[in-house]
């Protein structure tokens, strides 16, 4: 029997994961002993504090880490890419707490709601720093299970349960594909660590490596809701509680795309020719499918779900470029995209509460005049989604297109421009409905409109600030993005 040596555990490097997870445990346990009426407030306060603390920890680690290092027997990798993604996830979580505060439904399960939100964020923080196939899969399951439950948490709504079940089944299929791919890669190379796999692919059976790569890519594309692996997205986005939809569209995308970037660039540098082309195909399908399907939607949440599929296309385009400019563009784009996404779903959430029913384009009529701040913000978010200034996505798209042109794929940039032009129609439809359509038959909720929700308005205000701020302060943010991807070995230099 050999001598046992325990791995050294770098607690500070794990702090973003541990703080949010610890908060979840506190909320879960303490709210059991609290009266029902203060559970929601307690959960929201603890969740906000934990998201702030975890975000601050990630910022501190980002500032301190220049070289990146493996922690706990190299199971996770601490580097600026992971820390930046954690900052995004915690930020999205914080905004989601504000958006959720007055959400009805879910009854007395507010404690579990915030606990699962914190656990999901903590799982994403774990997932983005995964550095072997086992932690990769566990991180994926960790946050996915939280999201399956959160989708269905308002069990009194059948649509929520249906969405949760669909997400569970399709999501598990995606995870299973990723797991099968990981098994093939492990079988071919005999290693599970990302760097060891990259070192071992040269003398491995290429068939298995390529099949494994394809299946891992499919599994991650499921999570990023890129077409043709997006079929769950519209139903789940529509059925989930709207704050959770906002969180999924922002944080899940951040996690899935950052991990896609890391896995493809660090694990499969030898197959770069293959995965860049494969991604380009996925990009084209996502852009075409997302945009065309969004054109015909009347339900705003469904429309935004298809828009999220098309944005997965733009974001994957940055990875398909396979160069450092693309990596930078991806992270910069994600800042603006997350803010716009959470913000727009927040506005949908408040309209949904006013109507006590689903929000359609017709039921948005006159919203811009009724609630000028939220209406103007929604208009800004729609401009943002299109990629018009003063929203950061404008520059994000610009950098994504430059990255693929740098790689010599001008045609892909043209596809992106065409998709953007098509998208103007449905985003502008929202603005038109809010400001230029008169309300025909107004449905007024019994008891009048709910009181102004300060927490939600504050969350929307922060989203507006980030959306415009990412445009105004593009240079420092691009510097940060450059630092974050500085250590990745991009195939195109």
Partner 1 sequence: MPLEAPVEVMLAASAGNVLVWVVWVVAALALLSSGIAVVLFTNPFYSALSLIGNLASLAVLYLLLSGEFVAGAQVIVYAGAIVIMFVFVLAYLGGRADAPWAGGPTLQAAAAVVAAAAIALEVIVVIALAAGDQLSDTAEVTGAFGSPAEIGDLFLSDHLLAFEATSIVLLVAAVGGVILGSAMPQRSKAGAD
Interaction site with partner 1 (CB under 8 A): 1-2, 4-7, 9, 21, 28, 72-73, 75-76, 107-109, 112, 115-116, 119, 123, 126, 132, 134-135, 138-139, 141-142, 145-146, 148-149, 152-153, 155-156, 161, 164, 205
Nearer residue to partner 1 within complex by CB, 41 or 187 = 187
Nearer to partner 1, 185 or 319 (CB): 185
Strands 69-71 and 76-78: antiparallel
State in angstroms the smallest separation of the CB of 314 from partner 1: 31
CB of 221 to partner 1, least distance (A): 22
Could you say which DSSP state residue 71 is in?
Answer: E
**84 or 116, CB closer to partner 1?**
116
Burial class (CB in 10 A: 0-12, 13-18, 19+), 422: middle
Q: Three-class SS of residue 356?
A: coil
CA–CA separation, 395 vs 157, rounded Å? 40
How far apart CA 98 and CA 243 sit, in angstroms, is: 9
Q: Which is nearer to partner 1, 205 or 273 (CB)?
A: 205
Tokens of 111: 């404690």
Stretch (H or E) spanning 76:
strand 76-78
Q: Is the distance from CB of 456 to CB of 102 less than 8 angstroms?
A: yes
CB of 30 to partner 1, least distance (A): 15
Residues 253 and 225 sit within 8 Å (Cβ to Cβ):
yes
To partner 1, the closest distance from the beta carbon of 90 in angstroms equals: 18
Check residue 356 and give left, alpha or beta (phi > 0: left; psi -120 to 50: alpha). left
Phi, psi of 193 (to 5 degrees): -70, 140
Spatial contact of 29 and 115, defined as CB atoms under 8 Å apart: no
- Least distance from partner 1 to the Cβ atom of residue 134, Å: 4
Dihedral (CA of 406, 407, 411, 417) sign: negative
Instruction: Give the shortest CB-21-to-partner 1 separation in angstroms.
Output: 7
119 or 467: CB nearest partner 1: 119
Nearer to partner 1, 160 or 396 (CB): 160
Give the nearer residue to partner 1 in terms of CB position, either 106 or 343: 106
> Is the Cβ of residue 132 or residue 341 nearer to partner 1 in the bound state?
132
- Alpha helical stretches, state H, 356-391: 367-370, 372-386
CB of 343 to partner 1, least distance (A): 28
Distance CA 190, CA 485 (A): 28
DSSP three-state, residue 77: strand
Comparing CB distances to partner 1, the nearer of 190 and 228 is 190
Q: Side-chain half-sphere of 163: how many Cα atoms within 13 Å?
A: 26
CB of 58 to partner 1, least distance (A): 18
CB of 126 to partner 1, least distance (A): 6
Q: Which is nearer to partner 1, 116 or 485 (CB)?
A: 116
Q: With 0-12 CB in 10 A as exposed, 13-18 as middle and 19+ as buried, what is 477?
A: buried
According to DSSP, the residues that pair with 132 across neighbouring strands are 193
Interatomic CA distance for residues 59 and 55, integer angstroms = 6
Q: Name the minimum Å distance from CB 112 to partner 1.
A: 5
For tokens 């950052």, the residue is 258
């Amino acid at each position: 029997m050999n001598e046992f040596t325990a791995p050294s555990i770098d607690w500070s490097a794990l702090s973003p994961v541990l703080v949010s997870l610890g908060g979840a445990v506190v909320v879960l346990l303490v709210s059991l002993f609290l009266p029902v009426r203060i559970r929601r407030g307690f959960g929201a306060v603890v969740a906000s504090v934990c998201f702030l603390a975890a975000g601050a920890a990630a910022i501190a680690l980002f500032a301190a880490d220049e070289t990146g290092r493996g922690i706990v027997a190299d199971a996770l990798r601490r580097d600026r890419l992971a820390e930046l993604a954690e900052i995004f996830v915690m930020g999205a979580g914080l905004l989601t707490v504000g958006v959720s505060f007055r959400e009805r439904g879910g009854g007395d399960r507010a404690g579990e709601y915030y606990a699962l939100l914190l656990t999901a964020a903590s799982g994403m923080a774990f997932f983005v720093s995964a550095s072997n196939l086992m932690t990769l899969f566990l991180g994926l399951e960790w946050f996915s299970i939280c999201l399956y439950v959160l989708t269905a948490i308002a069990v009194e709504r059948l649509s929520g349960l249906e969405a949760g079940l669909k997400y569970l089944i399709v999501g598990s299929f995606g995870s299973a594909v990723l797991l099968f791919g990981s098994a093939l890669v492990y079988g071919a190379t005999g290693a599970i660590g990302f760097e060891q796999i990259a070192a071992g692919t040269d003398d491995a059976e290429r068939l298995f490596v390529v099949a494994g790569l394809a299946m891992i890519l499919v599994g991650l594309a499921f999570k990023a809701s890129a077409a043709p692996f997006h079929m769950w997205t519209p139903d789940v986005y529509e059925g989930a509680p709207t704050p959770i939809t906002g969180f999924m569209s922002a944080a899940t995308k951040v996690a899935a795309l950052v991990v896609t970037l890391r896995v493809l660039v660090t694990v499969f540098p030898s197959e770069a020719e293959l995965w860049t082309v494969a991604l380009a195909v996925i990009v084209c399908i996502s852009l075409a499918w997302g945009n065309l399907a969004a054109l015909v939607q009347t339900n705003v949440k469904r429309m935004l779900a298809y828009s999220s599929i098309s944005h997965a296309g733009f974001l994957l385009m940055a990875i398909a470029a396979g160069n450092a400019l693309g990596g930078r563009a991806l992270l910069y784009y994600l800042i603006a995209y997350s803010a716009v996404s959470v913000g727009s779903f927040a506005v949908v959430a408040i309209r949904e509460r006013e109507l006590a029913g689903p929000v359609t384009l017709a039921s948005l009529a006159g919203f811009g005049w009724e609630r000028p701040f939220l209406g103007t913000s929604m208009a800004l978010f729609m401009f943002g989604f299109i990629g018009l200034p003063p929203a950061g996505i404008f520059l994000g798209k610009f950098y994504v297109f430059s990255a693929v042109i740098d790689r010599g794929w001008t045609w892909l940039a043209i596809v992106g421009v065409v998709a953007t032009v098509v998208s103007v129609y449905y985003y502008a439809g929202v603005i038109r409905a809010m400001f230029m359509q008169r309300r025909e038959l107004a449905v007024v909720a019994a008891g009048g409109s709910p009181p102004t929700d300060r927490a939600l308005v504050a969350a929307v205000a922060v989203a507006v600030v980030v959306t415009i701020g990412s445009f105004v302060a593009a240079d420092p943010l691009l510097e940060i993005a450059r630092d974050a991807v500085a250590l990745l070995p991009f195939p195109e230099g």
